Chains A and B, each alone.
Chain A
């Protein structure tokens, strides 16, 4: 027996909580839920607009999180949050794939100014921005979120959504133009 091998691995609080969750400690599970639910709700509600759908997707996401927590391996601070976000995003996209058609988005072409302009986001609250993103049509919104916020490439997006890379690129382009226009409009009417 290696009596004098010194092992120094002080567990972090997250790891301790993780261990409790793995043991099935309900209090720890609830604590984990509360710690991350707001961030994950914001993530989900970027993509899905209907409140009930959001709740269903979030529920499925958390159930999946709790059921597969054993297979998660802790890799430092933030790794748990990232893993949970990934699961939530997957559930969200699964839902979207079932309910959104990407190629046929009815937009009156005249309404969109195709040339992208610079736009100022200063003075706009986070809520307003979130709101504008939600106002985008489903397909635009999904691609915009994945590209701009989730930092996915068009190739990855195409794979995730089962669409062509070209489609992804054009959807992004249109999304940005529409969003820019909406922001400009808001600034003008509110004199920001």
Chain B
């Protein structure tokens, strides 16, 4: 039939391919200098990003060390007002006024350690890598100036974009060699190595690998509400008649001496400090799930009794936890995105100790240090909304106000979570995505 041959031509020519004219791509690049400019800019950005990231990673490591040291120093400093050394029991009497003043001083000091730590972090961070950390810095300084409740989270993520790129290149070369089409000039010109294959599988692999995972290493002060500081309580006058004979059983002595007064144990809980690493997997355009590992340090001061006869102690608890969050990206427009996150955080107390000081008649009678046996599991749920601004293609700063509720861990331990189970928190930090979006 007449039509057959033209139909045949239609089918064959419809899929026909021919080698590109020589120098075509170069011509296009020359005619579109904006491609080159942009490409160069991005190359520079990428390089500077890598350098900046390495710097921030180094800073984070340094900051972690600083924080750890500061915490350590802070804890040893805490003990000082009450004992000279762990084993020495001082017989020097305490002046009431002096005690009060010192306890006030130490209160102030207690309120600042978290903020002090973050100030240290921000100082060192600022020195080494100005650009990405600046917003976090300002918030840090702001917080410590106001003595406000909010604290800061710094999340730092590492990226492997170049590695992913190389991987893609390799995939493409392998695939294109496999998928040579029916070319009637197979020997005429060899295909350049970075021709993509005609199948989709390696491309898909690249897309999945590049954009779905992101990792973060964080160091933070989780916000919570501070409980009432010790200085609120008015201390009653000492009762005359105390003796120094209660050394062997100071507890009993204190109880006896305080028999007529109402005393109760007060806790002064410090803001928890949390460090963590987390990994997020992007399920699709809007949803992603995130998990990781966190370490939280809780410390509190206790006081029980009257001014002259009391037991003071400091409690330190270490928790290791696993968070599990789902994130939903609600809106995104140019460089901004708004998201919501909800999740569960399960923590286990891995170690804790309590150091106590017994004071009778303003005399330091006994000092002891105990390990806390109770190792409870602390579960909390949280929900937050976040706003993220990506100042670079794959790095952004975010602010995440949220609420967390800490369930009763049914233990005899007294923590900040028992006093205030519902916490408002504000996380501020840096988020990076591996391989770009």
Contact = CB atoms under 8 A, between A and B. Distances in A.
Nearest to B12: A126
Interface stretch (A37-45, A93-101, A102-110, A162-170): A37-45
A121 B31 contact: no
Interface string B21-33: 1111101100110
A183 B6 CA distance: 12
B27 A59 contact: yes
A26 B35 contact: yes
A158 to B, nearest CB: 20
A54 B18 CA distance: 12
B81 interface: no
Contacts of A125: 184
Contacts of B338: 1
Interface string B5-29: 1101110111111111111110110
B194 interface: yes
Given A26-B42, A37-B20, A130-B13, A62 B342 contact: no
A127 B183 CA distance: 10
Contacts of A180: 5
Interface in A1-47: 1-3, 6-13, 16-17, 19, 23-27, 29-31, 33-35, 37-39, 41-42, 45-46
Contacts of B207: 11, 13, 16
**Residues of B in contact with A, size category:** 35 or more
A45 B17 CA distance: 10
A58 interface: yes
Among B13, B393, B437, the most chain A Cβ lie within 10 Å of the Cβ of B13
B6 A34 contact: no
Interface string A47-65: 0000100110011001100
A151 B248 CA distance: 106
B28 A62 contact: yes
A40 B52 CA distance: 42
A29 B36 CA distance: 11
Interface stretch (B58-66, B196-204, B307-315): B196-204
Interface string B88-123: 000000000000000000000000000000000000
A37 B18 CA distance: 8
B14 A7 contact: no
Given A3-B328, A31-B196, A130-B13, A45 B18 contact: yes
A178 interface: no
A142 to B, nearest CB: 14
A151 B10 contact: yes
A118 B5 contact: yes
* Residue from A26, A67, A129, A130 with most neighbouring chain B CB atoms (10 Å): A26
A148 B39 contact: no
Given A7-B286, A118-B1, A176-B6, A41 B35 contact: no
Contact of B19 (A11, A19, A41): A41
A85 to B, nearest CB: 10
Nearest to A147: B6
B235 interface: no
A51 B21 contact: yes
A41 B15 CA distance: 11
Contacts of A120: 5
Of A8, A59, A66, most buried by chain B (CB within 10 Å of CB) is: A59
Given A55-B24, A58-B21, A121-B8, A35 B285 contact: no
B41 to A, nearest CB: 9
Contacts of A148: 6, 9-10, 13
Contacts of A29: 35
B289 interface: no
B194 A34 contact: yes
Interface string A122-165: 00011101100100000000000000110100000000000000
Contacts of A66: 28, 32, 35
10 contacts: A7-B287, A10-B284, A11-B285, A16-B207, A26-B35, A31-B196, A42-B16, A121-B12, A130-B16, A133-B13
Among all A-B residue pairs, the 8 with the closest Cβ atoms: A26-B39, A55-B21, A38-B17, A13-B203, A42-B18, A24-B38, A37-B20, A42-B16
Given A1-B338, A119-B5, A148-B13, 4 more contacts: A7-B287, A9-B284, A26-B42, A121-B9
